[in-house]
């Protein structure tokens, strides 16, 4: 059935301007509509995704402690947040995924959700909802993939669950 393989938008969210000093990067714009998703594309042994960078450390741009273990994680630890559909109600929490990009691969632990259903509020650092195809990774993941630091930020990758 074709319908099962599609992931359609679950709605729109109206952005609000963040209070002064509450957002530095990728901030919501007042009145702009952002697409939300409750699902992500189907997972396979070669799941296409966008890799972004995040700090899961205390005071980092990841916000509060990680959803899976209520802890902060060092930038030197290979950890990721997955879009809401892939995070799958915490079913991938503390499990490892294998990320392939830049001709290399790395195993990373899932510690958080990149919320595709909500955003533009203090809980989400006044950033828009995540796209439904995001692997938000620590600096350690980017280093392991051998990506030069000035190229960190956004990269096409593919990933899979590990055993």
Average pLDDT, the chain: 92
pLDDT digits (tens, 9 = 90+) for 86-124: 999 999 999 999 999 999 999 999 999 999 999 998 888
Nearest C-alpha neighbor of 136 from the set 106, 108, 96, 161:
108
pLDDT band at 130; cut points 50, 70, 90: very high
pLDDT of residue 81: 97
pLDDT digits (tens, 9 = 90+) for 32-54: 999 999 999 999 999 999 999 99
Question: Residue 142 pLDDT > 50, yes or no?
Answer: yes
- Spatial separation of the C-alpha atoms in residues 146 and 79, rounded to whole Å: 16
Tell me the C-alpha to C-alpha distance, in Å, between residue 160 and each of 45, 51, 76, 106, 156: 5, 13, 22, 11, 14
Residues 6 or more apart in contact with residue 34 via CB below 8 angstroms:
12, 13, 14, 15, 28, 119, 120, 128, 129
- Spatial separation of the C-alpha atoms in residues 94 and 17, rounded to whole Å: 34
pLDDT of residue 5: 55
Q: Are strands 47-53 and 154-161 parallel, antiparallel or unpaired?
A: antiparallel
């Amino acid at each position: 059935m074709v319908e099962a393989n599609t992931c359609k938008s679950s709605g729109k969210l109206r952005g609000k301007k963040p209070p002064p000093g509450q957002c530095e990067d990728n901030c919501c714009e007042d009145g702009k509509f952002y697409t939300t998703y409750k699902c992500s594309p189907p997972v396979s042994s070669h799941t296409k995704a966008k890799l972004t960078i995040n700090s899961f450390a205390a005071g980092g741009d990841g916000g509060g402690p990680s959803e899976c273990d209520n802890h902060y994680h060092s930038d030197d630890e290979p950890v990721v947040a997955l879009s809401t559909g892939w995070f799958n109600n915490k079913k991938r929490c503390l499990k490892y995924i294998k990320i392939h990009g830049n001709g290399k691969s790395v195993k990373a632990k899932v510690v958080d959700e990149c919320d595709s259903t909500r955003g533009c509020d203090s809980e989400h650092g006044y950033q828009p909802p995540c796209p439904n195809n995001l692997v938000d990774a620590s600096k350690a993941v980017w280093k392991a993939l051998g990506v030069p630091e000035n190229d960190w930020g956004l990269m096409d990758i593919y990933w899979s669950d590990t055993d």
